[in-house]
Structure 1
Amino acid sequence: MTAASTPKGERRRATLIEAAAQLLIEGGFDAVRHRAVAERAGLPLASTTYYFDSLEDLIMAAVEHGGRVELDRGRAQLAKLSTEHRDVDALVELVLDQMLGVDARFEVLLLRYERFVTTGRRPYLQPLMRSMQGEFHELLTEIFTRSGFPIDRKRLQQLIALVDGAIVNALIEVDPDPRAVARAMLHDALMRPGAAGRRE
Structure 2
Amino acid sequence: MAAPKQTEKGERRRALLVAAAAELLAESGFDAIRHRAVAERAGVPLAATTYYFSSLEDLVSAALDRLAHTELADAHDCLARRDDPAEIVLDLLLGPRSRTDGLDAVLGRFERLIGSGRRPFLAGLLRAQRVEFDALLDEALTRATGRRPGPGEVRRLTALVDGVVLTALIEADPDPRAVGRKALHEVLESLPRV
Check whether TM > 0.5.
Answer: yes
Contact residue 39 and residue 49 of structure 2 kept, 8 A? yes
Name the residue aligned to 1:54.
55
The normalised TM-score by structure 1 is: 0.84
Equivalent-residue separation in structure 2 for 1:4 and 1:40 (angstroms): 24
Indicate how the Cα distance of structure 1 residues 174 and 114 shifts in structure 2: closer, same or farther if over 3 A, else same.
Answer: closer
Contact residue 85 and residue 143 of structure 2 kept, 8 A? no
Counting matched residue pairs gives 188
Equivalent-residue separation in structure 2 for 1:47 and 1:117 (angstroms): 29
Name the residue aligned to 2:7.
6
Equivalent-residue separation in structure 1 for 2:5 and 2:16 (angstroms): 12
What SS class does the counterpart of residue 152 from structure 2 fall into?
helix
Larger radius of gyration: 1
Equivalent-residue separation in structure 2 for 1:164 and 1:172 (angstroms): 12
User: Which amino acid is the alignment partner of residue 142 of structure 1?
Assistant: E
Matched, 1:159 2:157: yes
Tell me by how many angstroms 1:33 deviates: 0.7
Equivalent-residue separation in structure 2 for 1:117 and 1:97 (angstroms): 18
Counterparts of 1:23-34 in structure 2, within 5 Å, are 23-34=24-35
Tell me by how many angstroms 1:26 deviates: 2.2
Tell me by how many angstroms 1:4 deviates: 5.0
Contact residue 190 and residue 198 of structure 1 kept, 8 A? no
RMSD: 2.1
Name the residue aligned to 1:96.
90
Identity of aligned pairs, percent?
50
Tell me by how many angstroms 1:43 deviates: 1.2
Name the residue aligned to 2:23.
22
User: Which amino acid is the alignment partner of residue 98 of structure 1?
Assistant: L
Tell me by how many angstroms 1:95 deviates: 2.1
User: Which amino acid is the alignment partner of residue 73 of structure 1?
Assistant: D
Counterparts of 1:162-181 in structure 2, within 5 Å, are 162-181=160-179
Gaps of 5+ in 2: none
Matched, 1:79 2:80: yes
Contact residue 92 and residue 186 of structure 1 kept, 8 A? yes
User: Which amino acid is the alignment partner of residue 95 of structure 1?
Assistant: V
1:55-85 Cα shifts (integer Å, max 9, x gaps): 0000000000100000011111222339xxx
Contact residue 25 and residue 107 of structure 1 kept, 8 A? no
User: Which amino acid is the alignment partner of residue 189 of structure 1?
Assistant: V
What SS class does the counterpart of residue 62 from structure 2 fall into?
helix
The normalised TM-score by structure 2 is: 0.87
Indicate how the Cα distance of structure 1 residues 50 and 78 shifts in structure 2: closer, same or farther if over 3 A, else same.
Answer: same
Name the residue aligned to 2:122.
125
Contact residue 20 and residue 37 of structure 1 kept, 8 A? yes
Equivalent-residue separation in structure 1 for 2:180 and 2:12 (angstroms): 39
Matched, 1:68 2:69: yes
Equivalent-residue separation in structure 1 for 2:42 and 2:12 (angstroms): 11
Name the residue aligned to 2:136.
139
Gaps of 5+ in 1: 83-89
What SS class does the counterpart of residue 5 from structure 1 fall into?
coil
Equivalent-residue separation in structure 1 for 2:79 and 2:189 (angstroms): 23
